Amino acid sequence: EAGVTQSPTHLIKTRGQQATLRCSPISGHTSVYWYQQALGLGLQFLLWYDEGEERNRGNFPPRFSGRQFPNYSSELNVNALELEDSALYLCASRASINYGYTFGSGTRLTVV
Amino acid sequence: SQQGEEDPQALSIQEGENATMNCSYKTSINNLQWYRQNSGRGLVHLILIRSNEREKHSGRLRVTLDTSKKSSSLLITASRAADTASYFCATVINTGTASKLTFGTGTRLQVTL
C-alpha cells in the first residue's frame, strides 16, 4: 500500500510569488491534513479537508488556502510568499478518529 | 498554538539506557498519539492511547496516560543509536470541526554509542 505522497520535495520561491504543494493520501482515506513546521515554531495545524470540503483551518492568514479533489488528493496554495513562510509543509491522512495519522515526507519550501 | 509541552526539550543518553519523555496537555482529549521525526523528515506514528486507557505497549515502547493530570509519558527501553530523533506527542479532541492533531513542542533524543 502506497503511503502519503507529497510533491515537490523541495521548492524555492521568491518573495511575493505563489507556491503550490500537492498531497495524495493513502487510498481509502478521505481526510487530508496540512501542517507547517517552521524553525522554532513547532508543528502548526494549517488545514483539514474531508470529503472535498474544508472542515477546519488553523490560525493562518487567507494567503494560505487549498482544496481537495474528488480523488481526495489535495493542494495547498500559498500566495504572496513571505520569507517567514519558509518551512517544512507536511500532509497527513488517517482512516478514522482512533487511528494514527500517516504523514508524507513533506515539502521543504524556501522563500528567498 | 501548541496543545501542550514536552519535557525534557532535549535528552542525551547512552545506548542501552532507557529514555523517558513526558507530555502535558491542556484540554480533554479523545486520544493521545506519539510520533517520531528523523531530522527534518515526515513524522512516523508510534502509538495511540485512548482516553479510557492508562497504559499501552508496543515493542520497546511503553506509553502511559493520566487524564486526571492531563499528562502522558513515553518510555523507550534499551535504547539504540537508531532511536535518535525528535519525539512529539499529539492530542485529538473529537468535537466535530475540532477533530485534528495538536502537537506538543517535542523532545530531541540523542542516543550515543
pLDDT score of B95: 67
B112 burial level (CB within 10 Å; 0-12, 13-18, 19+): exposed
For B56-102, how does the pLDDT look when each residue is reduced to its tens digit (9 = 90+)? Answer: 999 999 999 999 999 999 999 999 999 999 999 999 887 665 567 88
Bridge pairing between strands B55-58 and B61-66 = antiparallel
Decide if A46 touches B, using CB distance below 8 A: no
Cβ A55–B105 below 8 Å, yes or no? no
Bond prior to A8 in cis (omega within 30° of 0): yes
**Cell numbers at B15, concatenated:** 545506548
**Cell numbers at A92, concatenated:** 497527513
Distance from CA of B1 to the nearest CA of A (A): 7
For A23-64, how does the pLDDT look when each residue is reduced to its tens digit (9 = 90+)? Answer: 999 998 999 999 999 987 789 999 999 999 999 999 999 999
For A66-111, how does the pLDDT look when each residue is reduced to its tens digit (9 = 90+)? Answer: 999 999 999 999 999 999 999 999 999 988 777 889 999 999 999 9
Residue A90 is nearest to which of B43, B90, B98, comparing CB atoms?
B43
Decide if B59 touches A, using CB distance below 8 A: no
Cβ B98–A56 below 8 Å, yes or no? yes
Residue A103 is nearest to which of B42, B97, B98, comparing CB atoms?
B42
Sign of the Cα pseudo-torsion (A61, A62, A68, A74, in order):
negative
Distance from CA of B4 to the nearest CA of A (A): 11
Bond prior to B8 in cis (omega within 30° of 0): yes
C-beta of residue A56 within 8 angstroms of C-beta of residue A10: no
Decide if A103 touches B, using CB distance below 8 A: yes
Comparing alpha-carbon positions, the chain B residue that sits nearest to A58 is: B1
Closest CA to B3 of B95, B70, B52: B70
